[in-house]
């Protein structure tokens, strides 16, 4: 049986992960409208990964005998005007998510819930990668996004990102 507080935090995190997917689909909508299909693709792949994080957490709770409950998913509230706006907002958002995962990890540690700590190890690593990816995007945009040719090349690069389902996903996801 999971610690009650830890289970509640993971349940809440499912909502945050689904919000993350909403947010990144919203970014993809913005870029689609601007004709930047590579950027659009990059965030569509990212949104699928966020959805998968929610699936993994839901499965973990259910497999641990916890009744999962859903709350309302907020509307994405980031104002998007410049091409850089989603990239900066994405970085900020990933830093926020890292703080949430850390808080769950700390609660699990406090409750001596080693099973959940092990489950969360994957997410701790994933957050490190996601923050790095978001930082790299901001850097590349600063370097190359200032002129049409650079932006075109960057868009081509981001078009190459493909979705790879995590090996941690439940078999029937
Ligand atoms: Fe599921 Fe981008 O954190």
Residue 82 has pLDDT above 80, yes or no: yes
Q: Whose CA is nearest to atom 1 of ligand 1?
A: 50
Instruction: Report how far ligand 1's centroid is from the alpha carbon of 46 (Å).
Output: 8
Instruction: Give the residue numbers of the binding site.
Output: 17, 50, 53, 94, 127
Compute CA 50 distance to the chain's CA centroid, rounded to the nearest angstrom.
Answer: 4
Which residues touch 72 (CB under 8 Å, ≥6 apart)? Answer: none
Instruction: Report how far ligand 1's centroid is from the alpha carbon of 71 (Å).
Output: 18
List, chain by chain if needed, residues with CB within 6 Å of any ligand 1 atom: 17, 20, 50, 53, 94, 97, 130
What is the torsional sign of CA 125, 130, 133, 139?
Answer: negative
Instruction: Give the residue numbers of the binding site for Fe cation.
Output: 17, 50, 53, 94, 127
Instruction: Report how far ligand 1's centroid is from the alpha carbon of 21 (Å).
Output: 8
Whether the CB-CB separation of 24 and 138 falls below 8 Å is answered with no
Burial 55-70 (b: 16+ CB within 10 A, else e): bbbbbbbeebebeeee
Per-residue pLDDT tens over the stretch 51-76? 999 999 999 999 999 999 999 999 99
Nearest to 154 by CA among 36, 43, 48, 45: 36
Nearest ligand 1 atom, CA 46 = 2
pTM, 2 dp: 0.96
Per-residue pLDDT tens over the stretch 131-143? 999 999 999 999 9
What pLDDT is stored for residue 167 in this prediction?
84
């Amino acid at each position: 049986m999971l610690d009650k507080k830890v289970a509640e935090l993971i349940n809440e995190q499912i909502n945050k992960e689904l919000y993350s997917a909403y947010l990144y689909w919203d970014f993809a909508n913005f870029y689609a409208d601007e004709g930047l299909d590579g950027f659009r693709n990059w965030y569509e792949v990212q949104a699928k990964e966020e959805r998968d994080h929610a699936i993994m957490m839901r499965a973990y709770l259910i497999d641990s005998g916890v009744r999962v409950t859903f709350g309302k998913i907020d509307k994405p509230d980031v104002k998007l005007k410049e091409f850089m706006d989603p990239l900066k907002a994405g970085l900020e958002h990933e830093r926020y998510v890292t703080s949430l995962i850390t808080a769950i990890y700390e609660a699990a540690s406090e409750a001596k819930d080693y099973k959940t700590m092990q489950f969360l190890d994957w997410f701790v690593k994933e957050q490190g990668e996601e923050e790095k990816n978001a930082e790299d995007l901001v850097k590349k945009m600063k370097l190359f996004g200032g002129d049409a040719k650079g932006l075109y090349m960057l868009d081509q690069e981001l078009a190459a990102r493909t979705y790879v389902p995590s090996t941690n996903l439940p078999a029937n996801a």
